[in-house]
């Protein structure tokens, strides 16, 4: 009996010599690592939704891996993964041109479709509260990825990682600066432009850059709205053929979709793309359905047809809202036509011909069908919202 026991123990020892006992313990779910406790307020989950975050990478306990060694055992399979992750994070940190240019660790994160630089003042107003800029950066990343996921769905985008399928060749680079000089310096260095206002480059390798101008992009809701809105413009400009349809005859589609994805996320739209010199202008209070219904009800001539050849930024606020509603109608009634319409616009086919081919309608007939749909489905009164 006793000998039996010794032999069994020796056999066990032999097994354990072959494979070192790195199997963790119950406390760490046999991983050898546990979650880092430094990431509070939902940030642990938020970090897991992005690929990299420079602020997480500066965590003194986990260096951004989000895990630390389990104190109750001598390791497990998670330890090697953690080391590998640490190397990935280090390589990502070192690859940042923006950080190199400014010679400091600019707050930034990267997700599936986005490279976000987010340098803001210390606290940002979010309604009656203030929000930590790091939390807000993750909210913006989540917003932008939400827009991306809706566009992927609406346009049947196939993303296979390697060649990106029929997807987006670039990640969208979006920058927010607290200091206007940094905004200007980044634009000059990376885009060779001396622009000082908010700036957007569409088509190939899209970029959006803005500084935290008081009264414009200073509060959390404004910042989230402007990033979501422009994410729509940028992704579409990068899809299929790297071309800004906003200036080549597809302004109505380009304006409509950017407002639509913003509206879908926040139940209102407050961001307009105007020529820089344009006067401030807006439609209703950002909550549009009832106002659009009224506009349609009293309209005698065409609302949409006159916009067919207008570039996105040459439209008034009301005209942009009309484009939003037309896009709303397409999403509701003709979702499978979004991709063919985009394909046509990217090939610079006139909207008239695209509608004939894919909607089986003249633009006047399409306008009539859209108006009837608005009258039928939009409410007479919008819910009142404060923000």
Report the residue number, 30 or 356, with the smaller CB distance to Zn ion.
30
Backbone angles phi, psi at 35, to 5 degrees: -65, 140
CA distance 246 to 200: 12
Report the residue number, 72 or 100, with the smaller CB distance to Zn ion.
72
Chain centre distance of CA 93: 21
CA distance 317 to 312: 10
Closest contact distance (angstroms) between CB of 364 and Zn ion is 26
Closest contact distance (angstroms) between CB of 209 and Zn ion is 15
Report the residue number, 53 or 245, with the smaller CB distance to Zn ion.
53
Backbone angles phi, psi at 196, to 5 degrees: -125, -20
Closest contact distance (angstroms) between CB of 25 and Zn ion is 4
Report the residue number, 229 or 371, with the smaller CB distance to Zn ion.
229
Report the residue number, 55 or 359, with the smaller CB distance to Zn ion.
55
Closest contact distance (angstroms) between CB of 5 and Zn ion is 28
Sign of CA dihedral 132, 134, 135, 139: positive
Q: Are 253 and 341 in contact (CB under 8 A)?
A: yes
Report the residue number, 36 or 374, with the smaller CB distance to Zn ion.
36
Report the residue number, 233 or 289, with the smaller CB distance to Zn ion.
233
Closest contact distance (angstroms) between CB of 264 and Zn ion is 14
Closest contact distance (angstroms) between CB of 219 and Zn ion is 19
Angle at CA of residue 125, ends 121 and 127, nearest 5°: 170
Closest contact distance (angstroms) between CB of 235 and Zn ion is 13
Report the residue number, 38 or 352, with the smaller CB distance to Zn ion.
38
Chain centre distance of CA 373: 30
224 conformational bin, left if phi > 0, alpha if psi -120 to 50, beta if neither? alpha
What is the DSSP secondary structure assignment for residue 346, as one 8-state letter? H
Closest contact distance (angstroms) between CB of 308 and Zn ion is 17
Backbone angles phi, psi at 197, to 5 degrees: -80, 180
Give the number of residues written for the chain. Answer: 387
CA distance 304 to 329: 12
CA distance 22 to 31: 8
Report the residue number, 73 or 147, with the smaller CB distance to Zn ion.
73
Report the residue number, 70 or 207, with the smaller CB distance to Zn ion.
70
Closest contact distance (angstroms) between CB of 28 and Zn ion is 3
Residue 126's beta-bridge partner residues? 129
Closest contact distance (angstroms) between CB of 303 and Zn ion is 18
Task: Pick the closest to residue 303 from 353, 364, 250 (CA basis).
Answer: 364
Q: Give residues in contact with Zn ion (CB under 5 A).
A: 24-25, 27-28, 36, 38, 53, 55-56, 59, 61-62, 70, 72-73, 258, 273
Largest CA distance in the chain: 101
Q: Are 167 and 239 in contact (CB under 8 A)?
A: yes
Is 233 exposed, middle or buried (CB count within 10 Å of its CB: 0-12, 13-18, 19+)?
buried
């Amino acid at each position: 009996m006793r000998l039996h026991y010794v032999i069994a123990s020796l056999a066990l020892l032999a097994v354990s010599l072959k494979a070192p006992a790195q199997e963790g313990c119950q406390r760490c779910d046999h991983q050898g690592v546990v979650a880092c406790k430094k990431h509070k307020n939902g940030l642990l989950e938020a970090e897991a939704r992005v690929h990299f975050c420079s602020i997480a990478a500066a965590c003194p306990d986990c260096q951004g891996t989000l895990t630390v060694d389990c104190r109750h055992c001598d390791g497990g399979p998670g330890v090697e993964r953690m080391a590998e992750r640490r190397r990935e994070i280090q390589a990502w940190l070192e690859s940042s041109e923006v950080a190199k240019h400014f010679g400091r660790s600019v707050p930034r994160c990267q997700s599936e479709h986005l490279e976000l630089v987010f340098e803001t003042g210390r606290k940002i107003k979010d309604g009656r509260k203030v929000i930590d800029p790091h939390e807000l950066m993750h909210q913006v990343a989540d917003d932008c990825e939400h827009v991306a996921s809706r566009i992927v769905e609406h346009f049947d985008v196939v993303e296979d990682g390697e060649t990106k399928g029929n997807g987006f060749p670039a990640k969208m680079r979006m920058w927010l600066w607290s200091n206007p000089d940094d905004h200007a310096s980044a634009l000059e260095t990376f885009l060779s432009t001396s622009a000082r206002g908010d700036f957007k480059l569409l088509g190939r390798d899209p970029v959006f850059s803005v500084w935290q101008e008081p009264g414009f992009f200073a509060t959390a809701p404004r910042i989230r709205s402007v990033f979501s809105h422009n994410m729509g413009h940028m992704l579409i400009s990068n899809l299929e053929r790297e071309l800004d349809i906003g200036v080549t005859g597809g302004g109505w589609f380009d304006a409509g979709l950017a407002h639509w994805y913003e509206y879908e996320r926040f139940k209102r739209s407050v961001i307009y793309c105007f020529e820089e010199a344009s006067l401030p202008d807006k439609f209703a209070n950002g909550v549009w359905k009832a106002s659009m219904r009224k506009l349609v009800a009293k309209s005698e001539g065409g609302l949409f047809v006159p916009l067919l050849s207008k570039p996105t930024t040459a439209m008034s606020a009301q005209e942009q809202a009309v484009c939003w509603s037309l896009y709303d109608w397409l999403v509701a009634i003709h979702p499978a036509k979004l991709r063919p319409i985009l394909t046509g616009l990217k090939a610079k086919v006139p909207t008239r011909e695209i509608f004939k081919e894919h909607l089986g309608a003249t633009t006047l007939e399409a306008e009539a069908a859209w108006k009837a749909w608005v009258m039928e489905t939009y409410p007479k009164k919008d819910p009142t919202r404060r923000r």
